[in-house]
Chain A
């Protein structure tokens, strides 16, 4: 079945550590996105990528980094510079074209101890 796989589902991190969240899609979608979800704040865009080897900062990119070396993969690194990283992280993808909807992964919950 086609879809988006995020891993790990749950992750615990000590303060000062970097952590990488995986996002893999087999939908042959061009664009990929990372969102952060906090209670009462909805989804906020961290980074997005329209094509391989190209990505753009979203609204809250500070303390995060991404890469897009392959069309299928868009990993997100939460660095120690991110002051409040505890959140639910969602990866999404879509085919190019304004009308196309986003397909979401099941999410990764990061907790900083």
Chain B
């Protein structure tokens, strides 16, 4: 069975500092990995994805993520955090399950950027 782990419930970072939100995964075969962001009482918005190719993926709003196959990780990063980045971030993996594409989400990490 596929799974995603986000080991930190909350990450606090000062504005202007680099941020990292961690994600590890477990899946049979090649993973398709995604990051989404959620603002309060809203649906999720897509940030970036890894399918194949370059291990460093660039996405929306200056975010990027690094795919590490040996460590089965897909950490989200940003060089300089903004207060407006404060939100709930979800990592997700897509793989085949019983002949169907299935998406599994992590439990989410709340990012708090402190002014």
Which A positions have Cβ atoms within 8 angstroms of B? 4, 31, 33, 35, 40-45, 48, 50, 56, 58, 88, 90, 92, 98-99, 101-107, 109
A interface, by DSSP: helix, strand, loop or mixed? strand
Please determine whether B41 and A109 come into contact, CB atoms closer than 8 angstroms. yes
Q: Are A45 and B43 in contact (CB under 8 A)?
A: no
Closest to B97 in A: A56
Give the interface SS of chain B, mostly helix, strand, loop or mixed. strand
Q: A42-B108, A50-B100 are in contact. List 5 more A-B contacts (CB 8 A).
A: A42-B90, A42-B106, A48-B102, A56-B100, A104-B36
Taken together as a complex, chains A and B put the C-alpha atoms of A106 and B100 apart, in Å, by 25
Q: Is the CB of B9 within 8 A of A40?
A: yes
User: How many residues on chain B are close to A (CB under 8 Å)?
Assistant: 26
Contact of A42 among B49, B98, B105 (CB under 8 A): B105
A-B complex: 10 closest residue pairs judged by Cβ atoms: A104-B43, A42-B107, A43-B105, A101-B46, A104-B44, A99-B51, A42-B108, A106-B43, A42-B105, A105-B43
Interface of B with A (CB < 8 Å)? 6, 9, 32, 34, 36, 41-46, 49, 51, 90, 92, 94, 98, 100-108
